[in-house]
Amino acid sequence: MMECSNTNNNSNCPQSCINSRFDSMIENCCEYAERAREAGKPIIGIMCEYTPRELIMAAGGIPVCLCGGSEEKIAPAENDLPTALCPLIKSTYGYCCTQTNPFLEMSDLLVAETTCDGKKKMYELMARRKDMMVLELPQKPDAPHAMDHWLSELRRFRSFLETRYDRKIADAGIWKAIETMNLERALRRRLAEMNKQTPSVWSGLQLLAYKSIISGIDEDLEEYRRLIACGANAAGSEKQSCVRVLLTGVPTVHGAERVVEIIENAGGAVVCMENCTGIKPLLEDVSMDASDPMEALASKYMHLPCSVMTPNTRRLEILRRLADEYDAECVIELVWQGCLTYDVESYYVRQIAEEMSLPYLKLVTDYSPSDSARIALRVEALMETALRAQA
């Protein structure tokens, strides 16, 4: 195993960076959500980055991400769902059928989108327990009608929230929420972009930890600022022997960080994560120049380059750019078993890596640690190849 200090235990990074408020993120969010509920604010569960949190916030609600990262919840989910389904979907549902996600239990409403088939059908089962609003997401992002349809779905969502919570959602309230979300995106983007430098500042595991399942909490925004200042004063964490990794593919939600850990233990420095738990949702802000906040929201969220879109050329353009900006030395693609859209799209990602002369590795796995040793061997072989390519 190669030596690399780009881990959470990085001794070059001040202790104050390593010990972060986000270490207690779930507890903090639980407390925050409980207080909000007591104050009469509805908790609204979301399960995808296409959901405009801004509309929920403008309606006085608290958007909470419910995506499951626990392997334990998969077996109970398989009583109702096919085993071949993606672990993220099964884990999310497993929390639902075992009633063990406090945020889901607290939720007054769930918001879902028509993304991949597995999620869409799982939502039908989940909707038996909680009220659910399903937004119909067009999947040809550049088709002329797509934006009109998405905008009309978001307007329908706004009216739905107004009726359900018996309050008018003013444009001013939406702009205020947009401002908060843009600020959060900007801070998280700055944090992530500190890894453009060599040596990089943060390990992939640190960046995964430095975020919250509830957006816009004041103390979290302050913590992002503190971490940015802390990182700016830290000596770079990455040793010369590390290989700079661009990780792409499926989200690695809270609890499902195993592959990132394996990569970093095997000598990789995960300098950039182009996925929904990494930089993908942070790359574009909501424009504050538009006259209609709903159009501004529709445009930002429609541009999110998920593999459920066809064609998904934006993701490929972004990958080229990120590989360049973060000085990636290899590309690792993570695909959850049963995720057909990312699996098929890996054809293009491999092509891009080849065009850029970057060693490429595709890992197809689930939440079980049973294949960790095999994955570590494959990652170590990739690191050797990348180091040889640099020599």
Interface residue with ligand SF4, options 13, 135, 297, 306 (CB under 6 A): 306
Binding residues among 75-94 for ligand SF4 as defined by CB under 6 A: 86, 88-89
Size of the site for ligand SF4 (CB under 6 A): 21
Closest separation between CB of residue 53 and ligand SF4, Å? 13
Q: Which residue among 4, 66, 250, 272 contacts ligand SF4 (CB under 6 A)?
A: 250
Q: What is d(CA 243, CA 380) in angstroms, rounded to the nearest whole number?
A: 10
Antiparallel, parallel or unpaired: β 109-113 and 132-135: parallel
Length, in residues, of the chain:
391
Range 261-280, binding ligand SF4 (CB under 6 A): 276
- Rule CB under 6 A: is residue 188 a binding residue for ligand SF4? no
Shortest distance in whole angstroms from residue 252 CB to ligand SF4:
10
Closer to ligand SF4 by Cβ: residue 184 or 329: 184
Site for ligand SF4 in 115-154 (CB under 6 A): 115-116, 118-119
| Stretch of 159-167, 186-194, 287-295, 303-311 lying at the interface with ligand SF4 (CB under 6 A) | 303-311
Task: Spell 152-185 as b/e; 16+ CB within 10 A means b.
Answer: ebbeebbebbeebbeeebeeebbbebbebbbebb
Shorter beta-carbon distance to ligand SF4: residue 115 or 200: 115
Q: Minimum distance between the CB of residue 330 and ligand SF4, rounded to whole angstroms? A: 22
Strand partners, 109: 44
In this structure, are residues 114 and 120 in contact, taking their beta carbons and an 8 Å threshold?
yes
Nearer to ligand SF4, 49 or 261 (CB): 49
By the rule CB under 6 A, 244 interacts with ligand SF4: no
Specify whether the CB–CB gap between 322 and 246 falls below 8 A: yes
CA distance 233 to 327: 21
Nearer to ligand SF4, 49 or 153 (CB): 49
In whole angstroms, how close is the CB of 305 to ligand SF4 at the nearest point? 8
Q: How far apart are CA 155 and CA 273, in angstroms?
A: 32
Tokens 């499926």 locate to 250
DSSP run (H or E) holding 130: none
Q: How far is the CB of 187 from ligand SF4 (least distance, A)?
A: 20
Q: Where are the beta strands (DSSP E) in the chain?
A: 43-46, 62-65, 109-113, 132-135, 243-249, 268-274, 330-336, 360-365
According to DSSP, the residues that pair with 330 across neighbouring strands are 245
- Using the minimum distance from each CB to ligand SF4, give the nearer residue, 1 or 344: 344
Contact residues for ligand SF4, defined by CB under 6 A: 48-50, 86, 88-89, 115-116, 118-119, 250-251, 276, 304, 306, 308, 336, 338-339, 341-342
